[in-house]
Amino acid sequence: MVRKTWAAAAIALGATAVLAQSDPIASRKALERANDEQHKIGTAMVTGQLPFDLDRARIVFATFLDVAGKAPHLFPENSKTGGDTSAAARIWDDPDGFRAAYVRFATDAKTAQDGIRDPATFRALFEGVTRHCGACHEIFRVLKT
């Protein structure tokens, strides 16, 4: 089950490279869904639903890092609407702030990737890095109810 999820994330990332030029909205959504898959795996390890595995834990942060490197380039001016996007107009009003939010996420993900030693360090690092998810969404996404 988890292995399948993992494979799906890898496929999503691969497909994104192809889609990126032609459909930036679908591409960035696929990247963010890869974030979500890894977030679920990380949460399962933190809560003990999945046994802690150092390599898997590193993949969680490596995926976040990969997404943070690619996603900021997928918000061209002509992609503000359509494609069922939840991107907020603020992304285009404050492009520097938006990019900086991805940089903060990437910086912490990189530090975390190198810092995992055991379940306890993973838990602390995971909690630190995933604070960026909500922090960015709060400002740069519009969630329909």
Nearest distance from C-beta of residue 7 to ligand HEC, angstroms: 18
- Residue choice 9, 19, 29, 70 for contact with ligand HEC (CB under 6 A): 29
Q: Which of residues 84-143 bind ligand HEC (CB under 6 A)?
A: 85-87, 101-102, 105, 130, 132-133, 136-137, 140-141
C-beta neighbour count of 35 within 10 angstroms = 21
35 binds ligand HEC (CB under 6 A): yes
Contact call for residues 132 and 108 (beta carbons, < 8 A): yes
Dist. CA 49–CA 46, nearest whole Å? 8
Contact call for residues 81 and 25 (beta carbons, < 8 A): no
Nearest distance from C-beta of residue 109 to ligand HEC, angstroms: 8
Nearest distance from C-beta of residue 139 to ligand HEC, angstroms: 8
Contact call for residues 113 and 62 (beta carbons, < 8 A): yes
- Which parts of this chain interact with ligand HEC (CB under 6 A)? 25, 28-29, 32-33, 35-36, 39, 64, 85-87, 101-102, 105, 130, 132-133, 136-137, 140-141
